Structure 1
Amino acid sequence: MNMTSRKFSADLSGLFNPRSVAVIGASSTPGKWGFEYARQLLKGQSGRDIFLVNHNGGNILGNECYTSVQSLPVAPELAVICVPAAHVRTALQQVLENGTHYIVCVTAGFKEAGEEGVRLENEMQELVRASGARLVGPNCVGLYDATANLACTAFWDLPPGDIGIISQSGGVIIELGTRLQRLNRGISRAVSVGNQADLSVAEFIESFATDSNTKVITAYIEEFRDGRRLFEAIEYSRSLGKEVILLAPQAGEAVGRSVASHTGSMISNEDVLASACAELDVVRVRSIGDLLLALRAYEAPARARGRRVAVVADGGGAATLGTDAAVAEGLEVPAFSGELVRVLQEISPMSSGLGNPVDLVAAFDLGVFQPIIRAIVSSGEVDAVLLNGAFNNEAGASIEAERAVAANISDICNQSGVALSVATVLPAEPAMVALAEGRIPVFDYAVEAARCLNFGRRRSPRSALTPIDGFSQFAGEVDYLGSRDALANAGVTFSKAIHASDADEAALAANSIGYPVVLKALGSLHKSDSGAVILGIPDELTLRGRVADLITKLRPTGFSVEQMVMERDAVEVLIGGVRDPAFGPTVVVAAGGTKTEIWRDRVVALAPVDETTALRLLNSLRIAPLFEGFRGGSKVDLHAVAKAVTAVSRFVSQHENISEAEINPLIVGPTRCIAVDARIVLSQ
């Protein structure tokens, strides 16, 4: 998908660099929002008109107040609304009628306050969108732009820099500003999105991506709304060379669905979020500490092109711990080639371990490591070096000499485009200080060094988001047989099935299909759990008896008489689709059958998916060895299964009113791939 051809958000440059700003509800009382916004905005007044509106008039910080929006000399490009919730609608109508294009609504008491707040927020949204204006908030704490000298905030005092911050928490922005300043880093733009009644996190990502002063974008997200839109924005940002780091705590388990199927009960928002981040190789962190590690990685002079890491240490323990840390982060510590090992043997101390990790026993002088690192980097066999050890000064060496060695090692890596990350127990040593001054990440522990390398590596998405080609409402039947027909029309192969109302019709159906047959009593949600499925009925006499038993036991609405699928070395697979409230259409592949929820062997992806992605999902299951013919079994037609996965994913993504769709099981064997049960659930 060519993301640059997609129509993205309108230009928001006027929001972050307005010609004029009005504070509606300005106050003369320090500590109140109306006073703090006025104070901050007036500090950056040069080249920008600041209007203070207070219905009582008066003077605030040496500036006369206007008593109404209508009395302003010009329509402000940006209006900050600080009035109580009961007066927000009036203030909003006034600024919109006056021609203001951007609004920041600080006031709380809307969606987060209950049903009445939801109603008020919906009214606000309708007013803004009808006027063509754009709204930040409500329930937010403003925005900031270093280059424009705009501090449209109450309490932030942020250091200028090149990091963009988009946050659902104003407090996170304050904390990041404080911590970044300690690292001599700063912020280019920041925005507190609040309730996102209009402008969303995704739109701000797109806007920040086009800002020449922003080098990397961070987004703190507590609640995912349109997760697909968010990942589209991340793809767009990457197409412009800007990486996005998601600071996202674990998403909640409550999914807000009917969960009428196995599929609906087995996945959560966290499953979808984690899967999407993995598929698109998005940097997702769960703590501010890890976010700062990622930012340090992006600041480093070289970033790893891949996952291959050389661990170089001054002892066996350090080598082992460094290797374990790298592998735990999903990095690779590949064995060196014989040629590289021979080169290292010529320049390494005796008794060194040289196969990767490299263990230079008791070689504390950093100068000993310099030729080793040069040989490793020049081999082209690794993308990064993790250096782990004590690294004392060489006896008698000057501080300048130690710093020079550090500079040489840094240059060796940087010039080859190989990332370097260091863990040391002696970070205050001159060489370590020199590395840190050169923006090489230096840490106390190997875990931090490895994590930094992983965060900073060049991202390699497994695939791009597949566009959804049109939407429609599903108008077919969603009973059992209707669900089978709909999914069969979508491209899934099903076993033969005939509806029967009674024993006579069941016998006719069975004679048409051929014994043995399967008898299913219709009307039960989970047929196997209620005893509504009888397999392998061999003849008409047995069939009539089973029909009578089911009528007595379950009082079904009818019966489905079906072909008995008997496949040698068969594997049962579940294919499901769920319209997640936060991420939209998804597809799930899992170990199938009646025990699918016990096995919990499943993977999920944003839908629709192509066959390549479907094959990757199938091969990531724990049951994947069965597809290849485990212990003498027959190899199955996995491409046929992948076609079924893509068909279900398209079906769910194209019908907006489908909440869940499921095939369980799909019986997969060496000669065929055939579905024997289906369910479709419409949105409530």
Structure 2
Amino acid sequence: MTHTSRTVRAALDALFDPRSVAVVGASGNPEKWGYWLAAGALEGRDRRTVHLVNRRGGELHGVRFVPGLDGLPDPPDHVVIVVPPQQVRPLVVQGLAAGARCFTVITSGGTSAAEERELAALITGGGARLLGPNCMGVVDTTSGLRLSWGDFPAGSVGLVSQSGNLALEIGRLLARAGQGFSRFVSLGNQRDIDAADALDALIAHAPTRVVAAYIEDFRDGRRLARTLTAAHTAGKPVLLLTVGASEASDRAAASHTGALVSARATVEAVCREAGALLLDTAGELVDTAICLLAAPVGALGLWTGGHVEASGGATGGHTSDGPSRPWALRVAVVGDSGGQGALAADALVARGFDVPGLSAGTAGAVAAFLPSGAACGNPVDLAGAGEADLHNYSRIARALLFGGGTDAVVLTGYFGDYATANPAQADRECEVANELACAARESGRLLVVHTMARDTPALAVLRAHSVPVYERIEQAATALAGAARLHATVAAAPDASPRRASYGVPDGGYETVRELLASYGLTFPAAEFVTTADEAVEAAYRTGYPLALKAMGLAHKTEAGGVALGIADEGGLRTAFARMRSTTGAARYAVEAMASPPYAVELIAGVRRDPAFGPVAMVGIGGVNAELLADTAVALAPLTPERARDLLLSLRHSALLTGWRGAPPVHLDAAAAALCTVARAGAEHTELSELEVNPLLVHPGGAIALDAHGVLR
């Protein structure tokens, strides 16, 4: 455990397991928040002292309300406040004077953000911590603490959320699957305790086996990234939900980089590097959590052992046709019908799994329980064997689990529903469910059940034994894929915060940015900058023909008619200059030697400064079609050469870099070094919100930048 984790845990003991709780604004009216907070607090009074505070008096469950915090017989360790905003500050002053170490403020902490920040400063200055304000509260089912509205089933999932209703939805979905929460933290406005604090506390909490989070405002994104990495290192899988839009991603981008590096892409990159899993819905989060909680230790070892294929940049790329899959999990499928088995196999293969043929020994073991002549491939078609004898489900599943040729077994079809049509079969079906669970546990492999049944006794048995059960095959396949991908991830070491350059550039024009990047070691063609046609002709004698003429001061030169390539002589140069001046009105121009090495590939490399995560590096297939292709990969900047190389190889069109249709491969080390240079310059020059090189020409002999652009913050 890190020093940071120990410190956070000590500081937040009063949040999750206080010695005493005071609920200010307690009520006996079930229609009020004060009722639910007070009733929840009283559920834990066998573990801690509970004070209910209401200046008007009253009582709940035999406990009389006291008028204020100043007259309590012992210090309130944790004070929960649910009163109008204008009353919050005086109560905090009372609580601090009484010795409170933690405040949870359900209502707003003031009429403005400034007042809420002042409230947080008051609390932290007094040596206490603040959750909220404007939050839904906190629950710790392991310590009997329930300080929130709603039902929170007990289980092994810790949730940090900026949405209260989403937490309730996740709780209901977990309950239906036989699981629940170890802890729940509603972040509210995060004026003190933020997502990273709460996640750190869950990492250190032994009963929390899976960490889930819904975060809209990442605050200090670099710190959060380090927390996610720490969770992965500690063996605590993190499942994250977030929103995809932000002010930064919605604004009109001043460069290709700004358009291609969205807030969502940045979070995806952070999750990949930190070993967390970014999901889209509450249902996916719960389905994946159930799969993770069910997987035996041996099964997880298989996923990250000999059958996982580490594939270089596959962990780093963002592609439009699905997630990267640096793993190869082999799955056996057994179904009640050929159709269900085939569809299950298709769903698994579509998500990156291998559904291999069975070995001769396993096929023979399975055939012993099937009707004569039934096929013994993978998927296995029961062909009525389950209906003939329910125990064949467990016999065949056991044969597959112990066969040695696969890492997981998916049972798809009707099992679990026999007792619905024939209640006399309920006991036998439950026996078989126990046998299935035992086979999975003893084999050390994962058994996943997809069934058309819902909430039957047999399914309750499976869930009680941590066998994941899904109502739709796509749920089962997606959850299994997420769990496999998560456990195959090797988290990158968290980057230190980039240092700041000792000087700032005055503008983002090509001449300035070219000089900046050249000082970092990036190669450009020979060029001179001029203002007249005569100066251009003189410069051309020194750079040589053919050459390129570029108008300065334009973000997108090609679209504006500000680029002319392959100019062969003085006449062509003067003609191009006159046309370009008429079209663009530019006052300054670059006369630049043409660079056209054979077998070159155009890339785009850039850095965008994210409001939460800071500088984010991007590389993609570049040129004028960069935004059309949108084949990019991103990572937090600065980069190591190894990380830059991984990003390049993760592109959908990376075959262009490694040798396509007989072409020689480009110089990947030079390409990675150029990307590192751009990332470092963009990270260190904080005066730039965006920095871009497009195109970056990479070829078998090296890399050369042909254009560059920056945007001042």
Tell me the TM-score normalized by structure 2: 0.84
Partner of 1:420: 447
Q: Which moved more, 1:593-602 or 1:14-23?
A: 14-23
Distance 1:328 1:128, change over 3 A: farther
Distance 1:320 1:134, change over 3 A: same
Deviation per CA, 1:40-83, whole angstroms, max 9, x where unpaired?
A: 334433453444555x5645446666655555555533222333
Q: How much does 1:13 deviate? A: 1.2
Q: How much does 1:30 deviate? A: 5.5
- 3-state SS of paired residue (2:540): helix
Query: Alignment partner for residue 635 of structure 2, among 594, 597, 605?
Result: 605
Give me the whole-angstrom Cα distance separating, in 2, the residues matched to 1:386 and 1:619: 33
Matched, 1:672 2:696: no
Equivalent residues of 2:229, 2:275 under 8 A apart? no
Aligned residues: 673
Q: Which moved more, 1:304-313 or 1:421-430?
A: 421-430
Q: How much does 1:325 deviate? A: 1.7
Give me the whole-angstrom Cα distance separating, in 2, the residues matched to 1:168 and 1:417: 37
Matched, 1:495 2:525: yes
Distance 1:320 1:249, change over 3 A: farther
Q: How much does 1:17 deviate? A: 1.7
Equivalent residues of 1:141, 1:192 under 8 A apart? yes
Query: Alignment partner for residue 166 of structure 1, among 160, 184, 187?
Result: 160
Equivalent residues of 2:106, 2:135 under 8 A apart? yes
The residue type paired with residue 276 of structure 2 is V
Distance 1:432 1:102, change over 3 A: closer
Partner of 1:107: 107
Q: How much does 1:564 deviate? A: 0.6
Is there any run of 5+ residues in structure 1 with no aligned partner, and where? Answer: 111-115
Matched, 1:380 2:404: yes
Partner of 2:139: 144
Matched, 1:220 2:250: no
Q: How much does 1:574 deviate? A: 0.6
Give me the whole-angstrom Cα distance separating, in 1, the residues matched to 2:430 and 2:150: 38
Query: Alignment partner for residue 294 of structure 2, among 300, 304, 312?
Result: 300
Q: How much does 1:262 deviate? A: 0.5
The residue type paired with residue 10 of structure 1 is V
Q: Which moved more, 1:412-421 or 1:23-32?
A: 23-32
Q: How much does 1:636 deviate? A: 1.7
Matched, 1:194 2:218: no
The residue type paired with residue 378 of structure 2 is N
The residue type paired with residue 641 of structure 2 is E
Partner of 2:544: 514
Give me the whole-angstrom Cα distance separating, in 1, the residues matched to 2:128 and 2:370: 67
The residue type paired with residue 537 of structure 1 is I
Partner of 1:550: 580
Q: How much does 1:491 deviate? A: 4.0
The residue type paired with residue 596 of structure 2 is M
* Matched ranges for 1:37-52 at <5 A: 37-46=37-46, 48-52=48-52
- 3-state SS of paired residue (2:623): coil
Q: How much does 1:632 deviate? A: 3.5
Partner of 1:10: 8
Matched, 1:309 2:331: yes
Deviation per CA, 1:161-187, whole angstroms, max 9, x where unpaired?
A: 333222212223334444544544343
Give me the whole-angstrom Cα distance separating, in 1, the residues matched to 2:394 and 2:68: 70
Give me the whole-angstrom Cα distance separating, in 1, the residues matched to 2:497 and 2:163: 35
Partner of 1:581: 611
Q: Which moved more, 1:368-377 or 1:601-610?
A: 368-377
Identical aligned residues as a percent: 38
- 3-state SS of paired residue (2:108): coil
Equivalent residues of 2:547, 2:591 under 8 A apart? yes
- 3-state SS of paired residue (1:468): coil
Matched, 1:332 2:354: yes
Equivalent residues of 1:427, 1:442 under 8 A apart? no
Q: How much does 1:223 deviate? A: 4.0
Aligned CA-pair RMSD: 3.5
Deviation per CA, 1:85-131, whole angstroms, max 9, x where unpaired?
A: 23434444454465533111111376xxxxx6233233334434444
Partner of 2:233: 239
Equivalent residues of 2:528, 2:591 under 8 A apart? yes
Distance 1:67 1:576, change over 3 A: same
Distance 1:47 1:292, change over 3 A: closer
Partner of 2:590: 560
Equivalent residues of 2:243, 2:264 under 8 A apart? no
Partner of 2:380: 358
Q: How much does 1:446 deviate? A: 2.3
Give me the whole-angstrom Cα distance separating, in 1, the residues matched to 2:596 and 2:348: 47
Partner of 1:81: 81
Query: Alignment partner for residue 487 of structure 2, among 459, 468, 484?
Result: 459
Partner of 1:210: 204
Give me the whole-angstrom Cα distance separating, in 2, the residues matched to 1:647 and 1:350: 67
Equivalent residues of 1:499, 1:561 under 8 A apart? yes
Give me the whole-angstrom Cα distance separating, in 1, the residues matched to 2:370 and 2:465: 26
Partner of 1:113: none
Partner of 2:476: 449
Distance 1:487 1:352, change over 3 A: farther
Give me the whole-angstrom Cα distance separating, in 2, the residues matched to 1:409 and 1:59: 54
Matched, 1:638 2:665: no
- 3-state SS of paired residue (2:183): strand
Equivalent residues of 2:58, 2:65 under 8 A apart? yes
Give me the whole-angstrom Cα distance separating, in 1, the residues matched to 2:594 and 2:98: 72
- 3-state SS of paired residue (1:80): strand
The residue type paired with residue 152 of structure 1 is L
- 3-state SS of paired residue (1:166): strand
- 3-state SS of paired residue (1:202): helix
Equivalent residues of 1:518, 1:536 under 8 A apart? yes
Distance 1:529 1:148, change over 3 A: same
Give me the whole-angstrom Cα distance separating, in 1, the residues matched to 2:439 and 2:156: 27
Give me the whole-angstrom Cα distance separating, in 2, the residues matched to 1:26 and 1:434: 40
Is there any run of 5+ residues in structure 2 with no aligned partner, and where? Answer: 304-328
